[in-house]
Amino acid sequence: MKKEQIKKADGRLADLARETQETVQKVLTGLSSIRLQIAEKKSECSRLEHLPISAEEAIQIIGQRIDDSASKFDDCLPALIHDSYPLIVDSLDGMQTMTAAFVCGVLGPEIKKNIATKIRESWPKETITAAERQTRLAVLAAEIHELETAEESICCQLEEFGAKVDRRPDLSPEVFLEVLEADEKV
């Protein structure tokens, strides 16, 4: 009878070991899936950060810069009729500012029109507005934080069961500490 009990116990232990291995494998597969999602979201962040602004935003920014330079035109104009003209432009920066003010003051609308045409003709098709970039990056940051929190929780649980877990080198220290503090409170 004892041999039969030992065989049953051995069978249950083997079943338990197999179930444990299957569970660990599922957890590790889940961890890999989370890490893949984090990598994809970080890649999307990088892509969004490098997308050019929309053509219309670019035109608006350049137009504002031309208007800003043109607004100095009236201040520079007296320099042309006073003997002190060479003294006013006593540096390269001063000369560039004055030249830009004259050119933009006289030709500003035409320059803006030509630049807008060129931008609209040649600007990349895939663009993003500054507001949209900011919103999408904030959403992705929140999603990454949530995924990193889940990832770190799984790592901590695996370590509690004696498993050695390699953490990603780019794991947010804030997430690590949040999960550590949360675990200590439980």
Per-residue pLDDT tens digits for 9-49: 666 777 777 777 787 788 888 999 999 999 999 999 999 99
pTM for this entry: 0.70
Q: Are 44 and 116 in contact (CB under 8 A)?
A: no
- Show the domain range for 137: 1-51+131-186
Same domain, 66 and 32: no
Same domain, 58 and 120: yes
Same domain, 62 and 45: no
Same domain, 84 and 135: no
Q: Which residue has the higher pLDDT, 62 or 86?
A: 62
- Bridge partners, residue 128, by sequence: 53
Q: List CB contacts of 137: < 8 A, sequence separation 6 or more.
A: 45, 48, 49
Give the pLDDT confidence score for residue 87 in this predicted structure. Answer: 46
Same domain, 90 and 116: yes
- Tell me how many domains the chain contains: 2
Same domain, 103 and 139: no
